[in-house]
Amino acid sequence: MKKTRAPLAMPPPPDRRRFRQRLLAWYKRHGRDLPWRKTDDPYHILVSEIMLQQTQVDRVLPKYEEWLVKYPSFEALASAPEQEVTKTWYPLGYNIRPQRLHSIAREAVAKYGGQLPADEETLRSFKGIGAYTAGAIRSFAFRERAAILDTNVARVLFRVFVGQGDPKSHAMKQHLWKVSATLVPNRHVFDFNQALMDFGAMVCVARNPRCLICPMAKSCRAFNGTLHHRGDGGHGVKTSEG
């Protein structure tokens, strides 16, 4: 007889509160000092988010500063020649990204007076702004209660609150979006979402996660399940992602 998997459950309120408290306490001590965390300019936030797609922070830092000196606003970027924009982007790679950023700038100038709107539906109508980037802009620029889910965040939430199954399946991604949405606090949204990303980049990393110093270890389903079944201190959690 085929065994059916229990439906994915949302974390109960006590678990949510504990996770928020531990994450924010960790971030207060260990969060990275990054220039795009010192602004609420939607354009600056968008530039950083597009640059950080599939690119390490240390490679983005000098280019982010250079870009904003050359193109300080949507208007400045929109009026620049496309070939020049692509050249300025070098050597970050994935050249579809500067083209999308250029296109967003032109649309923002043409339709919205050189500004980005704050509502999710309009943000996602821009080609190049998906669910994650819209959530990032809303929470980081407009301080709205908006969920995010990138690779790092999905890994953290999967390990802590699920621990088994296929983290790359469509159903799991949909579930993790719901988990992320339920976790977003009413206050400190900016810090919470930034903390999620830092935690995935610095502690709950893809390979050899730092489980033994992780403030979530006691309640982490992947850590405790792996520890129980494998007896290897929880470092086998990386195998859950293939």
3-state class of 207 per DSSP? coil
Active-site entry in 49, 65, 66, 144: 49
* Per-state percent for the chain, helix, strand, coil, to nearest 5: 65, 0, 35
The 8-class DSSP code of residue 3 comes to: P
User: Which of 226, 92, 76 is CA-nearest to residue 163?
Assistant: 226
One-letter amino acid at 124 equals R
Rg, Å, the chain Cα set: 19
Rounded Cα distance, 230 and 34, in Å: 38
Would residue 49 show up in a list of annotated catalytic residues for this protein? yes
With CA atoms as reference, report the closest residue to 46 among 147, 156, 126.
126
The beta-strand segments (E) located in the chain are none
Spatial neighbors of 132 by CB under 8 A, at least 6 apart, are 148, 149, 150
- Contact status, residue 78 vs residue 106, Cβ threshold 8 Å: yes
Contact at 8 Å (CB) between 64 and 50? no
Active site residues: 49
